Structure 1
Amino acid sequence: MVCTGHRLHIIATTVVLLSSLHDVVASNSHLRGPLFSQEPPPLLEYSSASGTTLTCVAQGIPTPDIKWVDLHGKVVTYIPRLRELLTNGSLYIPPFPPEQFTSAIHSAVYRCEASNAMGSIVSRNVKLKPDMSSDYEISTGNSFVLRGNIAVLPCNVPTYSHNLLLIAWLREGVSEARSLIHSGGRYAITTAGALHIRDTSMEDSYIRYYCQTTHKLTGERKISPPSQVMVSEAEGNISPRIEQTTPTSKVKVGSSADLVCVSQASPPATYRWYKNRDGVLTEIRQGGILVRPMESILHFVRPQQTDAGRYVCVASNILGEDRRELELLVETPLRAFMQPLQQVVDVGSAAWFNCTIEGGRETPTVTWLKDSQVISGSSSTNNIFQHNIAALQIPSVTRSDRGMYQCLVTEQEDSAQATGQLMLGAVSPDLQQSFVEQTLNPGLPISLQCVVSGNPPPKISWFLDNTPLSPRSSSGYVIGSHVDPSSEMVISHLNVSSVGVHHGGVYTCIARNILGSVHHSASLNVYGPPTPRSAQNLTVVSGEDLYLRCPVSGHPISSTSWQRGSVLLPLSEKQQVFSNGTLYIKEVDGDSDKGQYSCVARNIQGQSASGYVFLNIMKPPVITPFSFLDNLQQGNRAHVSCSITSGDLPITIVWHKDGKPLPNDPDVQEQQMLFLSTLMFKKLSARHTGLYTCVVSNEASSSNYTAKLVVKVPPTWTVVPKDTVVLYQQSAVIDCQASGNPQPRIYWTRAREEAPNEFIPLDSDSRLLISANGSVVIRSADPLHEGFYSCNAENAIGKVLTKVVTLKVNVPAHFRMRSLNESGLAGQSITLACEADGDSPIRITWNYGDYLTGSQQQTIQSRRTQTGISSHLRLERLSRSHAKAYHCRATNDFGSDDMMIYLSVKEPPDPPEDLTVAELGSRWMRIDWVPSTGQVLHHLVQFRGSQDHWVNITVPGTSNTARLTGLKPSTEYSVRVIAVNDVGPGSASKILDASTMKEAPSEPPTNVLIDNVSYQSIAVHWKPPPVSSWNGDLVGYQIIYRDISNTDTITQTRVKTIQSKHKTDYVLNKLKYYTKYEITVRVFNQIGAGPASSPQFVNTLEGVPEDPPRGIRCNALSSQSLRIRWEPPLASRRNGIIQGYKTFYKSMRLNSKSDFQKTTNLETNLHSLNKYTNYR
């Protein structure tokens, strides 16, 4: 039977074998929850052509399991060829073509989850951003600039791909191959990819520039079309006008940045940069290491939060100035830090987690998680957010609060998380698993088990009918306990390999630790006759209820009777015998209830057995509450007394500190009397702080009372800060830790540079962090960090503990620019400057190729500068052999650096070669040539005829062709080309002789004369045109003539060709009579005919009319007269002017004579004719 609802008061001592329990507990103390050592970034850009891998690594004991979840917490699964889970815990996105893009996979938000037995955590969100632009265009633009000013060539790339592209610039001259441009000298490439060209000259107009991009993920390279700088001369002086700026530049902390300010002016402007510090402009000087003014560019090497602010660019010359205000925004990535990282808290006590937030652009959203689940607002937790610190309070810790806690900090495009672990401290035992009542036959095995949680791990004892069982007893019991490593629960078992009747009874497991106990009871019934067990001696507490079990085994038992002495029980309502044979005595009293009790157990077969219990009743000890004084400090004296006001003697008094027996301490003395114990502290110190428990025991019971002693101790160093030396740009840590009670607050101050004796508070920023343990961490040391630092510890007890240390930053020798382009003129001298910064002494060496400089044509001079050293190499009488790369090395005790100066020597250019006639006309020709090596400003093309002077034509240096115009046809010319650079003209090329093509004559014959020699002939005379107009050899002449006498009709033009250049006259025959002709003469050669001469007009002589009069009519006027009428012949048949008509008439009679009559009219009258006679 199970006895529940009542307290068991059992006084007994037993040794329980916990199987290596202490070893297990020690190993459990090394268990650690998961903690990310590598988690994916908030934003992961990748190329669809290469795919990507999300890596997540977590540490912990035992090793955490890794899985991936989406934004909603759903576990990510394997999808063939789209999303794969690797064995190392990474998430792999294979390459994919753009048409297979799936937003739920390729641009999703993922989180990594790590879990082990101590709890689980999730990473910050990682957003995938694929780049599927397999083809993109890049372009540049030409720059128009006044000579001497700064030209800017942009490199235009798609915005969505800008972060994935590396930008470089190439240049290509007329006579030089395409080469890479290095920042330095006249060239500078901004972080945005624009090319700035300083001190522009006309020579820059002949250079082509190309922007080249390299994809960071795929390595693909692209090159833009060429761009040019159009340099022009200013028309007079011009005051500065700023034309290009970057009003606002956003950059992430640690990434290089540029502010751009470009002006146009004549003379060219001088640039100055200032930082606006609360309305006061502070000039940024040359020579800075991290902030470098470079004329049109203010370059930040690794901008920090302190570099953010407003800057002013001023461009000025003799005519005035122009200025612009620009702003640099430095974005610090979100970071979160959890304090404490791990804490142990007793159940019922309060717990805090503080999440410190750094970086970000706005007030972030903070979400608290426990074991990867969002903690919703409830009475069990409190969320507080103030001054970038989010706090989570658990007012009263319960068992379920154990686990991993996270603060998840999110902004629009960034997120961060920090992790802390809460482990339970002292927890009272709690029964998790137990055994039930069983009935068995003898000979069978049995195993009873109790599983209990608690901290410290509870000790479990076993009892049979209130009698303690020993694991080494001779009754066949095997008892063992162990702690499960994963659950940290104590598992205890009681095993019997072969049960007998004597094993039957009520079994109880009791679990105890320093906070309390828990028990469980259940019956084990073994078939058999009633069998007595040994008599029991029980000591119980006076005034409490008692349940006595008859010490007789066997099953089934039909009845049980109890006696006290010889008196059958119960005697009163205070006593009661239950059906299961248990005797209940209410509120036992030492006078009336102590003594011997006997019981008789019977079965239905009439078998019986007797058992005996000897009951001793005692009063428990009662302790008077005690406490320590407040405000006890180190060095004070103190005492505390534990007094027992009641309880049966003898009494044992034992002191514990922090749950363990009081250790030996020369400054702590204990004095005991009969019912009083006093602890006396001669000289308090920090080690005396703790919980002091007075444990009082007698045979009946034990009780305890605890008081807390707090010894306030002034700060003392546990880690004394030391002077620190660090290399430039390396990390440095200045440790500082102090102990005391209360725990001292550590804070740092720093001496002002201008007032070394004045210290100001030191705060964390993007480059300097004051960690939670008090150490100063400098991520990238800079000379600005040098100085005196003071670590201070205070806790309001005693004086503030202070230690001043120095931080020295050793700066290795280094160059601000690692490459430089220089040029000089042949025959002149040049000085190459090599300026290095760093701690002295700095040594500079020069060399080129395998040779050190040091010839008679070279001199080296060095001088110290404010930040380092400047070395100058002077080269005399430059020649082509000086054109090479000069290597300058600077070395000091802390490092070395190299700089390359690329020197080009300009000479008069070599003559162009291979002049050829590419195209030819009668009055022009195009000449090509192979240009000379070296930079050429322009080419001078000269040509002349046989008797002429040289005619000059200038073509750009970028061109290797020229078109000569204004030439004469069929003329031989001599041509040569001279290359000119900024040194001067070079030698002329070899002369090319070439003749222009022939052309039709350009002038007509002269002195054209015409004479009408007959009525059908015209004589034509002329003289040849000037020889200069022949444009080739003459072949002959052409006479063009046509009838123009009748303007109403169109007459055909006729051409008479004379195949002789020597014949200068000709007679045109078979012409029309009395006809007006237009006649011109032209000369022709093999190409064609030239222009005709001015038209000449002439008539042929008159001839006899070709036709008679027409339409003759005759009318009789009288018997002797006739009237004859007619029409004149056609005009085209008259062949001249008709002077008159003759009318011939004759009688039809025989032998008559003819007669005629003249007239100028178109009729005539014939008179004196014969009457009635026919005439014809």
Structure 2
Amino acid sequence: MTYFWIAQIGFLFSCCDFGGANTNAWSGCPQDRHSQSVCPNGWISFEAACYVFISFPTATFANAQTGCTSRGALLLNIQTMEQHRFVSDWLQANALDRAMRWFTAGTMLNSPFGEFIWTGYPVESRNIPPNLYSLWFDKPPTAADQPTYPVERNKLVYGTNGTAWGWYIDVPSQARGYICQAKSLFANKLLPQSNPIDYGQMDSNNIYRGPCFVEQPVDAWFVPGIVVENFVAFGCFANGNPAPNYRWYKIGFISGQSIVVPKRTLVEPLLSPTGRISISGGNLIIHQPQASTDSEYYQCEAYNDFGSILSRTAKIVFGQLETFPKHPRKRRVALAYQSVTIPCDPPAHSPRDSLIYAFYMKKDSGLEPVVLPARPGVFVSQAQALIGFSEATTQDSGIYVCMITMHQLGSRLSDSPKSPDMPLTVLESNQRIQEPRIYDSFPAIWPSDPVRGQTVRIECFAGGSVQSGPLEYTWRRLDGKPIPIEVYKEFNRVLEFSQIQPEDQGVYECKVTDSMGSQAQPKSVSLQIKAWPYFIKTASDTIVSIGETVVMVCEAAGIPEPIQMWYKNGESVSELLAQGKLDSARYTLMDGTTGPASLQISQCPGTYCSLPNGNLLVFALTKVQAGLYACRAENQFGSAKTSAYLDVIDPLVVILRPHNMIVEVNSTVIVPCRAQAVPSLDVNYAWFYEDVEIKFDRLDLDARRYEKTQFFRPFDRNYGFLHIVNIQMSDAGRYACEIQTPLSKQREEGYVLVAGPPGPCAGVEAATVPGTELVVVNWTKGADHLFPTLFYQIEAQVDDGPWIMVVSRLNESASIQLDKVSNRRTTTIANLYSNILYRLRVRAANVKGIGEPSAASRGIITLPKPPTKVVQNVSGGGGKHGTLVVRWEPLPYYEHNGNSFHYVVRWRAKEDLEYTDTVVYNPMVVENDTKVQLTITLAEERFYKPYVVSVRGVNEIGPGPESDPMIIMSAARVPTNAPRNPQASMLNASALGVTWDPPLLSPEEGPVSGYRILYWRRGVECLSLASDIERWEQGQRLTLYGDVTSGTIIGLDSDSYYCIAVQ
């Protein structure tokens, strides 16, 4: 590989890349390539994500992961077919080294074996969708393959099979390219790949910078007698500030012992004796070109006060095209059903392969083109300049004419006159079958000396019988690589590569089979191409600080390998070494035609180092190293050049750093961080907690970190500081401030210790003591949080109920330490309910307060015993006549103290001596009350009589204490007498007042519970039978509770009569 590095001193950094046929004329012109993408410089936007493809330097999987995270991203994760097409399209268009494979986040699991996931991503986007399984080129292993499967082959990588891009399985230790991906939401967090020269400038017109080519010279085609103009012009135009001037050079070559060194001679039109050469603007014009004097290469130089750049070289291609001879061609005679060819025999011409051929047949109306799409058995070969008939028939007899077109450098220059008549006679024949046979001159390649980037055809032609069907042409590469389906043309007789690349080189074999299954002897041809130098990796603009190290990447290729030369500030390194201007002890110049690097510096403490891959390393920078650097690569087919402007600025200075501090829990903490940089650089502050970045917009995978604590990065005069509001114990740790600019990162760290109540205890265990009501509790002491523990609290929980304090203060000195190593503590509890499933937890306290509770212990069941609680609030009364209703507050289940719990209700009439026991397992719950009740049906109707009642709880162990006896009255009889002396009086237009006297009651009827007033509009006499019917149909009622003797009826119709009754 050959590299020319050219440096011109200045303070701007413009980049230009010129790589043979694949030149991007706008590369390195900042004002013309601004993008509206949300992604930073060097990243590519697709849908809602940003991507960057890293081909240099290659990395192992672990280093690729680090490379992505250092840029603020993760390795590639494919979730949709559209996303895959974006990645494969980019690789197809930009990956010049097709053999390179690219790491993604895909990793194979050990269990389940053979399953791949996107490592490093959250659960919802970790799995590979099933609709993407078609992208696998390597078959993922199954469980049956596990015993013999290589353990290291567990990474999913992108690669091409020659036809398409898809997935292979690879090892993580091999250095590969890799692809990084991040959501567009985080675009402001991503590290730019490089920083443009206009960074920090509001007006790009005020940026002083060296030249950058917009248009470069290309080879000019000149054919005397055919082209109309009698001159050629080479174009050259560059951007720059100030506007650049131009110089032109003739390039010759001086042969040395082992290398060929280019020599430039300045073109000076005013000194030209013939006056044929002129320069207008940046254009070089040569009038009446002559092959004897003007066949050398030409090169344009654009320069201003801030640097100079050299274009790629161009030359005049002198062509020739003679006319066809006048004499007619000899008639060709062929037998029917046999193959025949008619050569065009073009006139003398140059350069070779500059003609395109077409064939016509003479008819009465003139010349008619031979329509090939309708004739599968007819073929026009551009490589052999002929028309061929796989199986001629008498209808093919006639006079044929060949027309040629001169076509070179992408331009159609001229059509020649037609060839002499070429008569063909096809005679009848009885032999109608012909075995297929590939002609000796096929397969053939056109053009015969192909160059990378050209359209190249590989043609195959065979004779054979086509009566029952066309001949079938098939191709294969002998190295086994697939052939892209899109290159098959003209009934598969032709492989046409529209942009030939080095990876298309190989041996291609053609096979021909007729419709009867007979096969011709296969024939093959080797496709080898040449390539002008081109850049796999180009130099890019950058700005760096004084004292830093920078590597400017220049990775070139060509077929054959370009010769190698180095330049610094436009001067040959070999000459600088000879003059003693470079340290020969460290600089070794190895000019040659092979090897990856031509300039080697054995020790790197100097300013410039050549890396083994041809890159230029400049380190310990000062402003003296600012300037325009150019890398050139050349071989006999041309040259390629990439240049970049290096600007050196003052380094980043940290003014305030985080420091170690002790703070109170739930307080607000301010951690300082401040840096000073040149005004043209944006400074961003990123904060990390234990090396995990704090997401200030809360779009973080671990959102639980922000449930209590709030992290802020203010944009006021304290910009860059970290504000932590309501800091918790879990937030204690190492905090790092990362100061980021587009050029560098610098990290400063400090510890924040949080003082507060003790941390939660751990390892809580509980167990019952056989034969007792005691429970033993063990636990491990938690973190003191800078203050010693004073006492503990123990809480208990039944089922999912609330936690209840069972030990409110257990002094640290009162707890028993089991061993000093593990800080285990123990104590006993005696006040828990029996036969209950408990979970226990422990809290610790110090002078700062009571800490968070421990995790709950496993459940334990306390030993059973008879109920100990007395049933409360025994009462009753009411109900239907002939019943005794008893009500009481039920015992909570945790006071049952055992299984098979039930109630026993003891009752007797007050005048009786013997009790009756009634067992109740599931008493009825009183509606809208907390009590339960039992309704006892009495054997005889005893209305409103007193009964003595008590209630107790009983379980399988035994009975509990009995409640105090209570006097409860049985249900009373329904009143038999009506209220007396009802009276009504008008209160207003819509209300009546009603009064009455209480009824006379018997002892069995008990006290009155309330009254009901009935009223209805009078239609007939109130005491008549018809009025009773009206009361039934229209009557309304007002119920009054208690022993009252009056009531008020409202909402009546005015000026109306009503009937009133009291019940």
TM value normalised by structure 2: 0.36
Greater relative CO (CA pairs within 8 A, separation 6+): 2
Say which structure is richer in strand.
1
Say which structure is richer in helix.
2
Bigger radius of gyration: 1
